[in-house]
Amino acid sequence: MKQKWWKESIVYQIYPRSFCDGNGDGVGDLLGIIQKLDYLKELGVNVVWLSPVYKSPNDDNGYDISDYCDIMEEFGTLAIWEEMLAEMHKRGIKLLMDLVVNHTSDEHPWFVEARKSKDNPYRDYYIWRPGKDGREPNNWESFFGGSAWQYDTTTDEYYLHIFSKKQPDLNWENPKVREEVYAMTKWWLEKGIDGFRLDAINLISKVPGLPDAPVTTGEKYQFPGQYVFNGPRLLEFLLEMKKKVLSKYDIFTVGETSLVTTEHGVDYTHEETGPLNMLFQFEHMDVDADRSSMAPRWIRKPLNLHDLKGVMTRWQKDLENKGWNSFYLANHDQPRAVSRFGDDKEYRVESAKMLATFVHLLHGTPYVYQGEEIGMTNVRFDSIEDYRDIETLNMYRAFAEEKGLDRKFVMAMIHDKSRDNARTPMQWDESENAGFTAGTPWMRVNPNYKEINVKQALADPDSIFYYYKKLISLRKENPVVVYGSYDLIFDSHEEVYAFTRTLQKDRLLVILNFTKNTPVFALPSHIRVTDKELLLSNLAVDHAEDIRLLTLRPFEARVYRLR
């Protein structure tokens, strides 16, 4: 297994709108990021993935881009961006930009041209079809609700938008589109960035003919998954991008890929033949989805640890010595990890540390989402007026207004799963608006900011923040944390997730209690312990304790070196 800097890295995701407002207009920006770089340096992360900062009308908070080569006015200017990059590099922090090329904004000049006439030179940059029997070309549902097709009166045709109608899908079958994307990608790389997170990248090749999706619900539109994800030309397109651009730079690439199997994982990240370094897969984000409910995206069932172990172990083992894993429990599209997989009340600190141990001790590159390092939680605003996310607002309209579902029930789903849980402003201190802005924040701050904030975390040596620092140091100082192979212990234990990491003679044992209970952990006899050293734990531990039979405390986490 080759040594690579991107395997050894710890990535911190910044969602710029909510991170820090440097100019007092209520919106996070690049100046704000520059102000907080010393904080990131103190944490110890060495890569930042920056969610989109390009020009955008913000239908989907920057994931709808109208100019790839300029900065959104609310966030700053290209000159400030250059300064930010230089300040990052000065501190040994590398920068991944977000590459959003499955779609553009409908306000991008290409689309503005494309919709003018059927013979416009840009028409074929997008996916247009005539209607069928007086309705949409097929029955595909948009991921944000409603049809995936939008009728355009000027030319009497529909265009495809997998996400919102202001995010028309690019037509990657058109070689001109690909060349434009590669030129733009190169333009950013030439500015000295260190890589890309590739947004929704396994959607870029659609199945020819765009057939109707199978009808699996009584709804008007159906999920088109099999016809849009991992399409027939995906690997070809990505390998072309690798050959023409990516391979020419020493960079870090991570593809956002829903609905992938570990076979896709190997194909896309293979050390020699794959186009990308690593993926964000989503299988573990689905283990708590209630498939039997009317809305699995929105309705959770309690975590079944056996299922989580199954998913994680499959990814860990199937990619071993072939591709490379990455691991996250939170990002800007997911609820807060501690609220979802831990306990955001009595055991908030313990469970946040336990989950952090899980993320950082698996085999793969770990990702920290802003605020995760201080244990920020989900938010429960009473009124839909306080929510901002297009997916959440569309869902509310469809469920509460069109279907007439009980509003309390709909709000409960939003409290649990809305993407806005991750997008409340970063909590810096106990001052008004959590120190995020001197103005009026674009989205309300989580009311718990007086107890949960960076200032408080930095003042408490036992805080979640300092625990993250220890995990990050552990990774930097011990090659086994980066390169050691993973083996699950106790497949069937319902409360404890334990595994080993082994690199030649070096072996770590990780024991994690995922519950509020006090389960017994008995080390299986095939794991030999002649001597042991406690490297890290989230609760005080008696070093003389015999680890062959332990009663774990709620959300306890321990990492041992075994000899």
Q: How far is the CB of 240 from ligand NOJ (least distance, A)?
A: 22
Quick one: tokens of 137? 């070309």
Q: Are 514 and 507 in contact (CB under 8 A)?
A: no
Q: Given the complex with ligand NOJ, which of 74 and 333 has the nearer CB atom? A: 333
Q: How far is the CB of 369 from ligand NOJ (least distance, A)?
A: 12
DSSP lists the bridge partners of residue 326 as: 365
Q: Given the complex with ligand NOJ, which of 58 and 515 has the nearer CB atom? A: 58
Asked if 420 touches ligand NOJ (CB under 6 A), the answer is no
Asked if 72 touches ligand NOJ (CB under 6 A), the answer is no
Concatenate the DSSP letters of all residues of 229-295 into one string.
TT-TTHHHHHHHHHHHTGGGS--EEEEE-SS--HHHHHHHH-TTT-SSSEEE--GGGSTTB-TTSS-
Q: How far is the CB of 144 from ligand NOJ (least distance, A)?
A: 8
Q: Given the complex with ligand NOJ, which of 150 and 515 has the nearer CB atom? A: 150
Minimal CB distance to ligand NOJ: which residue?
63
Interface pick for ligand NOJ out of 34, 93, 200, 535 (rule CB under 6 A): 200
Q: Residue for token digits 């490379």?
A: 324
**One symbol per residue from 113 to 132: x for binding ligand NOJ (CB under 6 A), - otherwise; what is it?**
--------------------
Q: How far is the CB of 377 from ligand NOJ (least distance, A)?
A: 20
Q: Are 335 and 323 in contact (CB under 8 A)?
A: no
Asked if 229 touches ligand NOJ (CB under 6 A), the answer is no
Of the residues 60, 157, 194, 199, only one is catalytic, namely 199
Contacts with ligand NOJ in 34-63 (CB under 6 A)?
A: 60, 63
Quick one: tokens of 278? 């690593």
Q: Calculate ∠ Cα 241-58-55, nearest 5°.
A: 55
Of the residues 256, 350, 372, 420, only one is catalytic, namely 256
Q: Given the complex with ligand NOJ, which of 260 and 562 has the nearer CB atom? A: 260
Q: How far is the CB of 438 from ligand NOJ (least distance, A)?
A: 27
Q: How far is the CB of 80 from ligand NOJ (least distance, A)?
A: 23
Q: Given the complex with ligand NOJ, which of 100 and 464 has the nearer CB atom? A: 100
Asked if 199 touches ligand NOJ (CB under 6 A), the answer is yes
Contacts with ligand NOJ in 529-558 (CB under 6 A)?
A: none
The answer to whether 256 is a known catalytic residue is yes
Cβ atoms within 10 Å, residue 520: 11
Q: Are 374 and 463 in contact (CB under 8 A)?
A: yes
Asked if 148 touches ligand NOJ (CB under 6 A), the answer is no
Query: Site for ligand NOJ (CB under 6 A): how many residues?
Result: 9
Q: 290, 285, 287, 315: which is closest to 301 by C-alpha?
A: 290
The answer to whether 343 is a known catalytic residue is no
Q: What DSSP element (H or E) covers 351?
A: helix 348-361
Q: How far is the CB of 285 from ligand NOJ (least distance, A)?
A: 12
Straight-line distance from the first to the last Cα atom of the chain, in angstroms, rounded to the nearest whole number? 24
The overall longest dimension of the chain from CA atoms, in Å, is 78
Q: How far is the CB of 17 from ligand NOJ (least distance, A)?
A: 11
Q: How far is Cα 292 from Cα 7, in angstroms, rounded to an integer? A: 38
For residue 144, give every residue at least 6 positions away whose Cβ sits within 8 Å of its Cβ, in sequence order, or none: 60, 163, 164, 390, 391, 394
Helices first, then strands: H and E counts in the chain = 17, 20
Q: How far is the CB of 253 from ligand NOJ (least distance, A)?
A: 16
Contacts with ligand NOJ in 176-195 (CB under 6 A)?
A: none
Asked if 100 touches ligand NOJ (CB under 6 A), the answer is yes
Q: How far is CA 151 from CA 123, 126, 147, 449, in A?
A: 15, 14, 10, 44
Q: Given the complex with ligand NOJ, which of 199 and 350 has the nearer CB atom? A: 199
Q: Given the complex with ligand NOJ, which of 63 and 315 has the nearer CB atom? A: 63
Asked if 333 touches ligand NOJ (CB under 6 A), the answer is yes
DSSP lists the bridge partners of residue 488 as: 499
Q: What DSSP element (H or E) covers 183?
A: helix 175-190
In terms of residues, how long is the chain?
563
Q: How far is the CB of 241 from ligand NOJ (least distance, A)?
A: 18
Q: Is 348 exposed, middle or buried (0-12, 13-18, 19+ CB in 10 A)?
A: buried
Q: Given the complex with ligand NOJ, which of 37 and 398 has the nearer CB atom? A: 398
Long-range contact pairs involving 307-312 (C-beta distance under 8 Å, separation at least 24): 308/284, 308/497, 308/514, 309/488, 309/491, 309/497, 311/283, 311/284, 311/287, 312/284, 312/362
Q: Are 496 and 518 in contact (CB under 8 A)?
A: no
Q: Is 152 exposed, middle or buried (0-12, 13-18, 19+ CB in 10 A)?
A: middle
Q: How far is Cα 165 from Cα 451, in angstroms, rounded to an integer? A: 40
Q: Given the complex with ligand NOJ, which of 200 and 312 has the nearer CB atom? A: 200
Q: Amino acid identity of 41?
A: K
Interface pick for ligand NOJ out of 111, 159, 163, 468 (rule CB under 6 A): 163
Q: How far is the CB of 407 from ligand NOJ (least distance, A)?
A: 25
Q: Given the complex with ligand NOJ, which of 106 and 350 has the nearer CB atom? A: 106
Q: Given the complex with ligand NOJ, which of 65 and 246 has the nearer CB atom? A: 65
Q: Hey, which residues are catalytic here?
A: 199, 256
Residues that bind ligand NOJ (CB under 6 A): 60, 63, 100, 163, 199-200, 256, 332-333
